[in-house]
Amino acid sequence: MTIATKSAVHVVGMGSMGTLLAVNLLHTTNTEVIPLFRNKDRMDQFQKESNSTIGIRRLYLEDQPLLTKTLTKSYCPETFTGTKIENLIVTTKTYQTKAALQPYLSFIDSNTNLILIQNGLGVLEVLRDDVFANSTEKPNLFQGVIGHGVFQDTGYVFNHAGFANLKIARLPWNQNDFAQRESDVERDALDNSLVKILMQPGFVRELGCEQQTYQSLLLGQLFKFLINSCINPVTAILDCDNGEIKDSCRDVFCSIVEESLSVLRVAFKPLFDYEKNYNGKADYPILDVNNVLNVEHMIEEINRIGCIVNAKNSSSMRQDTRYLRDTEIAYINGYIVSLAEKLQLGPQATKTNKIISELAQLRLSLNRTRASNK
């Protein structure tokens, strides 16, 4: 599949994942990538100090090659004078999503394709209930669940430490539209400009991109969420690379996963009931939800993917605490705590996740105190 004219893809969030996507889009597709920065200082820093150049070093390959690309355009709210945005990738931290989108909302309409590629859960609710709550021009909304391990080297050069995959799906604005048909996926593959870009053979090869139904992606999203709920806070609290805790955190991981699953089974009941309601029906994918989202399987996969495949990776939360940045803990372990409160499951339902959240915040506070005392 080829695209004759060059399409534009705007990116909000030029961190590790934004850079990984941008470099590979420029490398494998006929696409113009345009970063949208949150303010003029960040844009000027990118243009002057980095010469508008981004790079990905592939640590998982033997010779660890560095692939760099120079971007011809970049904007901030003060300088952006474009027309409507057709394709928008959002890779900001979850808690930054609303503020990052706000300056560009007038350029987003029902023809815009907006894809979220972030850690954690809860952003869909923010977009549905807040950002676009009263809008008659809601964008086509997609989610990406990414398994690749990436962390910062220096400036806008990032290390791609572990190769995995990228799964994408259209998100339903209506909570009742849970189960999508495979024919819906095929329609987007033919008609949607963003999906057509992300499913080009070269990009698929470089990032393992796969298009799915929403329910299939949600299964993968909860799977990735449980990995993040263990790897991210524990490596941040201990200040270690992923591989350093291989085989040594089973008990802690078990406590986190067992508790989280008890809450997720209530909150996402349609997914956990999917097998009995939809498996075997024509035009619906067969999902093995309860064999994937169980404690024993998850612990094995967390150790394999988090600690072995991505052994050289430094998790995003650890990087945030080391560089004294706010973390996404409220959208990971903290999300389980708030979800249990919303569902009125009682304070005993999330004791482990609450402690893990507090310890991650304590690590950040400690690092900030040490830095201020130097």
Q: Domain containing 363 — which CATH number?
A: 1.10.1040.10
pLDDT (tens digit per residue) in 11-57: 999 999 999 999 999 999 999 999 999 999 999 999 999 999 999 99
Q: DSSP states of 233-301 as a string? A: HHHHHHT--GGGGTTT-HHHHHHHHHHHHHHHHHHTHHHHTHHHHHTTSTTS----HHHHSSHHHHHHH
CA distance 214 to 274: 12
Q: Which of 228-237, 272-281, 307-316 comes out lowest in average pLDDT?
A: 307-316
- Looking at 167, 224, 276, 351, which residue is catalytic? 224
CA distance 32 to 18: 14
206 and 234 share one domain: no
297 and 330 share one domain: yes
Domain endpoint, select from 187, 212, 237: 212
Host domain of residue 86: 7-212
The predicted model scores a pTM of 0.90
pLDDT (tens digit per residue) in 135-144: 888 999 999 9
**Quick check: is 1 in a domain?**
no
As beta bridge partners, residue 164 has none
As beta bridge partners, residue 210 has 167
CA distance 225 to 145: 9
Number of domains in the chain: 2
Mean pLDDT, to the nearest integer, of 50-70? 97
> Does the active-site annotation cover 224?
yes
Supply the pLDDT for residue 134: 85
Q: Identify the CA nearest to 148 among candidates 116, 114, 119.
A: 119
Binned at pLDDT 50, 70 and 90, residue 244 comes out as very high
242 and 204 share one domain: no
Binned at pLDDT 50, 70 and 90, residue 4 comes out as low
Residue 348 has pLDDT above 60, yes or no: yes
pLDDT (tens digit per residue) in 72-109: 999 999 999 878 999 999 999 998 999 999 999 999 99
**Quick check: is 2 in a domain?**
no
Question: How much is the mean pLDDT over the chain?
Answer: 95
User: β-pairing, 87-90 with 7-12?
Assistant: parallel
